[in-house]
């Protein structure tokens, strides 16, 4: 130390600490844990009186049902199905109501612009671009999220979700992933950005990254309307056949999640540390009021705010792309022309690929952009199912196109909000790039394969 | 930014605890809706901040991520440890699950190593009662050396007492005197030796015993933090010179 | 005396931890859970798929996989009984 004239600095202390650790045999953690738990045991024995009869018997009885071999999985599917049905059925009415209100306001805004001689370009960008995109996203996203997130939070509050992870862990372990990934995927059904944030519940670094990178294979609320629409176009109605088709592509997403997790954990994530311990907390009666407030504030509003901040500039950009003409064709048309060969190769066309690219800010606007391109109207539109069918057929669509668009929608790159969230969560550009590249590669290959197979079978 | 809590409006109370102890419920019950969730700069985990008024004082409450330990190496644990160790909260509430006390004592013993102004909040008392678990609260407080407040945050039980206790701790009218665990003699000797060196080296506010324990346990992630603490606001050379003269 | 891995402990049985063989983060995680030598652990239930298994450790119910469980050596001390 200072008496013997050695400069006392941090390096010195650190090397000394290292030597101490070595001298103690490297099991310092064991010594600490042993001492702490010995004291804890003694203390608890002195101050806690536990009844010999277990009073919380109903906890065990609930677990007997929820984790049983026979009932565990059926109950899980039933609950998931119920959450889903409530979300889809419950969101319809408020979505339509919101859309009607927004349309009414849009009419007034347009009238106002006309009355005050606002230049058409300004009106176009602000009303047909920004306003229409933002309100579209809000009308499509807000009601399902306001129903889905509280329901999901309710299951979380009840203590049921850890049991789902418990039951499904074996399935995920086979892919090198964590049982809790089932929960992050569930969250992803609401919104992939929220699903990525939910990956925080996975403590083990490797499994957390796997869950983050594959969350996009779970179709979110923003993609479901597109999937439902395409499925009903494909099967000619919205009956059980359409539901089966949607279920099929969701299962395709699960298969992609599993396969990509399997490959990642055996390739680039191999060296990352991995450990598993899953606490099963006691069941607790949910706190209804708090659940609704928490789900509304923490999840719905946060996700919505991010989506809107992304959708507003995107609306302006899309409007400009669709309305700037060059050589008699809009930029959107030119873009579609360039992308057409690629689109054809994977069973789509240039406009569909362009719509997916321009729809990067939010998946909800992919279909509206597509219609805008086909109709060359210059702003986003919505038309009836019958007209839509005629329009798409006139554009050379067939069953394969619809199917491929569904497949591409489920498997393609995450939206901008999700990518930003991944960047924030992982703090790494490399993982964010991979999070976009992997799904793009998967979606392109799968669509390419289905197209080749279909063409070979049906020349 | 608010990385180490020194720029948060004082007094600052940190809220720590194992996962599933109703920590967030307590946080929400104390702050009402006066909170905002923010991401910590460069970190992956959200820390909610909120505030409440008690006795004319506005108290900032920081909800730290739930952890089982401060010595493992997950992002949550690093954030909690860094805040407790370097954020210098005016008081720390450790939320403890009354139905599962023994397991929760691990964290409270570790936190008592880091900070002295600790209050234990024995949450989920309603559930413990329902299960017929009885806890001798005064004896627990005596054994730990810190105030213990029984509570059932879901029903709003014990909140006023908790605020009052915190108020007194912040004002310095209660002096918690934690009785942390003593380790085996070999480890204790090594810790004492290293702590003495660290005490010389660092400016006030660093807990030498705890840092020594971390370093001996081989936790390297704490080193950059100590470095800033040793140099802090002064220039590098300056600290060394001054420190060498001080003892 | 026969030692078992924790994963071999039949549901309903209690064992006493003799040693933890895991290394690295897994070891720390297991220590944090309170799995130090002398700790009593009870196998409470298997998941619907048979693995992981939930154990009662110091009052908490924690599920461990076969991989983690096999690193914890226990001495069986009691046969099936209530869940506590």
Mean pLDDT value across chain A: 87
Radius of gyration of chain A (CA): 27
**pLDDT value at A417 more than 70:** yes
Beta strands in chain B (DSSP E): 12-17, 35-39, 46-54, 57-63, 91-97, 118-123, 134-135, 148-150
A400 vs A262: CA distance, rounded Å:
29
The reported pLDDT for the residue numbered B204 is 67
Q: Which domain holds residue A162?
A: 66-90+112-457
Per-residue pLDDT band for C80 (boundaries 50, 70, 90) equals: low
Instruction: List the Cα angle C26/C32/C36 in 5-degree steps.
Output: 90
By the 8 A CB rule, do A332 and A322 touch?
yes
Touching B (3+ Cβ pairs <8 A), the chains are: A, C
* Domain boundary assignment for chain B: 12-171, 185-242
Q: What is the pLDDT of residues A248-287, one digit of tens each?
A: 999 999 999 999 999 999 988 887 777 788 888 888 888 7
Burial class (CB in 10 A: 0-12, 13-18, 19+), C80: exposed
Q: What is the pLDDT of residues C8-27, one digit of tens each?
A: 999 999 999 999 998 888 88
Strand partners, C20: C72
A226 vs A406: CA distance, rounded Å:
8
The reported pLDDT for the residue numbered A418 is 92
B48 or A242, which is more confident = A242
pLDDT tens per residue across all 247 residues of chain B: 344 445 778 899 999 998 888 888 898 889 876 554 433 332 335 567 888 999 999 999 998 888 888 887 777 788 888 888 888 899 999 999 999 899 999 999 999 998 899 999 999 999 899 888 999 999 999 999 999 999 998 888 999 999 999 999 999 999 999 998 999 999 999 999 888 888 877 766 678 888 888 888 888 778 877 777 665 433 333 333 333 333 3
Domains of chain C and CATH, by start = 4-78 (2.30.30.90)
Kindly report the CATH number that applies to the domain delimited by B12-171: 3.40.50.300
A276 Rama sector, left if φ>0, alpha if ψ -120 to 50, beta otherwise: beta
Q: CB neighbours (10 Å) of residue A409?
A: 24
The token duo for A391 is 């329009």
A329 in any annotated domain: yes
C-alpha A254: how far from chain center: 13
B37: chain A residues, CB-CB within 8 Å? 298, 302
B223: chain A residues, CB-CB within 8 Å? 10, 14
- Of the candidates A49, A302, A425, which has its C-beta nearest B134's C-beta? A49
DSSP letter for each residue of A281-293: PPP----HHHHHH
The reported pLDDT for the residue numbered B242 is 35
Chain A from 233 to 292: CB within 8 A of any B CB: 279, 281-282, 284, 287, 290
**pLDDT value at A203 more than 60:** yes
A192 vs B37: CA distance, rounded Å:
19
Q: What is the pLDDT of residues C60-74, one digit of tens each?
A: 899 999 999 999 999
- Of the candidates A12, A14, A37, which has its C-beta nearest B223's C-beta? A14
Which of A7, A9, A13 best tests the B interface by mutation, with the highest count of B CBs <10 A?
Answer: A13
- Helix, strand, coil percent content, chain C, rounded in steps of 5: 20, 40, 40
- Of the candidates B72, B73, B103, which has its C-beta nearest C60's C-beta? B103
Read off the pLDDT of each residue in A218-243 and give the average, rounded to a whole number: 86
The reported pLDDT for the residue numbered B41 is 31
Contact assignment for C45 to A170 by CB distance below 8 Å: no
Q: What is the pLDDT of residues B130-148, one digit of tens each?
A: 888 999 999 999 999 999 9
Contacts of B216 (CB under 8 A, 6+ apart): A17, A20, A21, A24, A28, B187, B190, B191, B194
The reported pLDDT for the residue numbered A156 is 82
Q: What is the pLDDT of residues B77-133, one digit of tens each?
A: 888 888 888 888 999 999 999 998 999 999 999 999 988 999 999 999 998 998 889
- Of the candidates C26, C52, C58, which has its C-beta nearest A169's C-beta? C52
Read off the pLDDT of each residue in A298-325 and give the average, rounded to a whole number: 82
- Of the candidates C26, C31, C44, which has its C-beta nearest A33's C-beta? C31
Tokens 């009903």, residue? Answer: A232
Contact assignment for B73 to C28 by CB distance below 8 Å: yes
C54 vs C56: CA distance, rounded Å:
7
Chain B from 158 to 197: CB within 8 A of any A CB: 181-184, 186-187, 190, 193-194, 197
Contact assignment for B230 to A21 by CB distance below 8 Å: no
Read off the pLDDT of each residue in A392-408 and give the average, rounded to a whole number: 92
- Of the candidates B143, B217, B244, which has its C-beta nearest A8's C-beta? B244
Contact assignment for C62 to A67 by CB distance below 8 Å: no
C-alpha B190: how far from chain center: 24
A13 in any annotated domain: no
Rounded to the nearest angstrom, the minimum Cα separation between B171 and chain C is 34
- Of the candidates B72, B102, B103, which has its C-beta nearest C28's C-beta? B72
The reported pLDDT for the residue numbered A340 is 94
Contact assignment for C67 to A276 by CB distance below 8 Å: yes
Read off the pLDDT of each residue in A365-384 and give the average, rounded to a whole number: 77
By the 8 A CB rule, do B227 and B198 touch?
no
The reported pLDDT for the residue numbered B21 is 85
Name the closest residue on chain B to residue A281, using Cα atoms: B20
DSSP SS3 for A381: coil
Per-residue pLDDT band for A4 (boundaries 50, 70, 90) equals: very low
The reported pLDDT for the residue numbered A282 is 84
Per-residue pLDDT band for A43 (boundaries 50, 70, 90) equals: very high
Contact assignment for B217 to A39 by CB distance below 8 Å: no
Rounded to the nearest angstrom, the minimum Cα separation between B105 and chain A is 6
Rounded to the nearest angstrom, the minimum Cα separation between B90 and chain C is 27
C66 vs A332: CA distance, rounded Å:
55
The reported pLDDT for the residue numbered B136 is 96
Contact assignment for B187 to A24 by CB distance below 8 Å: yes
**pLDDT value at A164 more than 80:** yes
**pLDDT value at A337 more than 90:** yes
Q: By the CB < 8 Å criterion, does B101 face chain C?
A: yes
Q: By the CB < 8 Å criterion, does B100 face chain C?
A: yes
A363 vs A223: CA distance, rounded Å:
6
Per-residue pLDDT band for A388 (boundaries 50, 70, 90) equals: confident
Read off the pLDDT of each residue in A430-435 and give the average, rounded to a whole number: 95
Contacts of A15 (CB under 8 A, 6+ apart): none
Name the closest residue on chain A to residue C21, using Cα atoms: A30
Rounded to the nearest angstrom, the minimum Cα separation between B102 and chain C is 6
C35: chain B residues, CB-CB within 8 Å? none
**pLDDT value at A3 more than 50:** no
The reported pLDDT for the residue numbered A56 is 56
Report CA-CA distances (Å) from A102 to A127, A134, A244, A320, B229.
11, 10, 33, 22, 55
């Amino acid at each position: 130390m200072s008496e013997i004239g050695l400069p006392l600095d941090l390096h010195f202390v650190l090397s000394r600490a290292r030597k101490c650790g070595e001298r103690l045999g490297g099991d310092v953690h064991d010594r600490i844990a042993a001492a702490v738990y010995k004291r804890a045991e003694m203390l608890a024995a002195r101050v806690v009186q536990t009844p010999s009869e277990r009073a919380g018997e109903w906890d065990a009885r609930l677990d007997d049902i929820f984790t049983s071999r026979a009932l565990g999985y059926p109950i899980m599917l039933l609950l998931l199905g119920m959450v889903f049905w409530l979300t889809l059925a419950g969101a319809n009415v408020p979505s339509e109501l919101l859309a009607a209100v927004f349309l009414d306001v849009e009419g007034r805004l347009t009238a106002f612009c006309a009355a005050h001689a606002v230049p058409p370009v300004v009106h176009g960008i602000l009303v047909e671009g920004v306003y229409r995109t933002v309100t579209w996203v809000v009308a499509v996203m807000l009601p399902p999220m306001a129903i889905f997130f509280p329901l999901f939070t309710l299951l979380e509050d009840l203590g049921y979700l850890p049991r789902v992870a418990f039951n499904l862990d074996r399935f995920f372990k086979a892919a090198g992933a964590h049982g809790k990934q089932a929960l992050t995927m569930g969250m992803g059904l609401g919104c992939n950005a929220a699903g990525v944030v939910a990956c925080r519940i996975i403590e083990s670094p490797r499994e957390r990254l796997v869950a983050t990178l594959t969350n996009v294979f779970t179709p979110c609320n923003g993609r479901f309307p597109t999937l439902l629409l395409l499925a009903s176009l494909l099967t000619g109605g919205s009956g059980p056949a359409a539901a089966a088709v949607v279920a099929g592509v969701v299962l395709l997403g699960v298969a992609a999640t599993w396969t990509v997790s399997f490959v990642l954990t055996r390739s680039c994530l191999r060296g990352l540390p991995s450990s598993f311990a899953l606490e099963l907390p006691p069941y607790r009666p949910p706190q209804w009021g708090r659940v609704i407030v928490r789900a509304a504030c923490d999840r719905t509003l946060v996700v919505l705010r991010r989506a809107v901040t992304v959708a507003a500039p995107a609306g302006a950009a899309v409007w400009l792309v669709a309305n700037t003409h060059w050589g008699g064709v809009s930029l959107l048309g030119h873009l579609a022309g360039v992308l057409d060969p690629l689109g054809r190769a994977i069973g789509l066309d240039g406009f569909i690929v362009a719509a997916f690219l321009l729809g990067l800010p939010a998946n909800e606007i992919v279909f509206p952009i597509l219609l805008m391109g086909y109709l060359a109207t210059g702003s986003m539109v919505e038309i009836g199912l019958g007209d839509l069918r005629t329009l798409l057929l006139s554009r050379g669509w067939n069953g394969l196109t619809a199917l491929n668009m569904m497949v591409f929608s489920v498997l393609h790159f995450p939206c901008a909000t999700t990518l930003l969230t991944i960047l924030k969560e992982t703090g790494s550009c490399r993982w964010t790039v991979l999070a976009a590249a992997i799904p793009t590669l998967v979606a392109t290959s799968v669509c390419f394969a289905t197209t080749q197979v279909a063409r070979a079978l049906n020349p | 930014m608010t990385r180490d809590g020194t720029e948060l409006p004082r007094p600052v109370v940190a809220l720590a605890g194992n996962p599933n102890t109703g920590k967030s419920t307590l946080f929400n019950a104390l702050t009402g809706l006066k909170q905002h969730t923010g991401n910590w700069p460069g970190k992956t985990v959200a820390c909610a901040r909120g505030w409440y008024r008690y006795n004319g004082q506005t108290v900032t409450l920081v909800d730290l991520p739930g952890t089982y330990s401060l010595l493992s190496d997950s992002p949550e644990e690093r954030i909690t440890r860094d805040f407790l160790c370097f954020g210098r909260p005016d008081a720390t509430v450790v939320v403890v699950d009354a139905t599962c006390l023994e397991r929760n004592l691990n964290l409270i013993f570790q936190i008592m190593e880091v900070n002295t102004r600790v209050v234990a909040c024995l949450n989920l008392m309603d559930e413990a009662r329902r299960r017929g678990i009885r806890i001798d609260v005064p004896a627990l407080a005596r054994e730990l050396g810190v105030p213990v407040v029984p509570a059932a945050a879901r029903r709003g039980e014990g909140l006023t007492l908790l605020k009052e206790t915190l108020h007194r701790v912040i004002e310095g009218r209660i002096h918690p005197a934690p009785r942390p665990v003593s380790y085996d003699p070999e480890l204790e000797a090594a810790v004492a030796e290293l702590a003495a060196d660290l005490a010389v080296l660092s400016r006030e506010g660093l807990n030498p015993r705890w840092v020594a324990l971390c370093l001996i346990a081989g936790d390297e992630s704490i080193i950059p933090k100590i470095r800033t603490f040793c140099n802090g606001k002064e220039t590098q050379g300056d600290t060394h010179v001054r420190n060498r003269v001080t003892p | 005396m026969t030692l078992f891995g924790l994963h071999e402990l039949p549901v309903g049985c209690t064992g006493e931890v003799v040693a933890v063989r895991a290394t690295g983060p897994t070891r720390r995680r297991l220590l944090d859970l309170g799995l130090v030598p002398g700790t009593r652990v009870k196998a409470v239930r298997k998941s619907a798929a048979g693995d992981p298994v939930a154990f009662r450790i110091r009052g908490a119910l924690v599920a461990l996989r076969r991989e983690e469980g096999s690193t914890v050596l226990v001495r069986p001390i009691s046969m099936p009984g209530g869940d506590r």
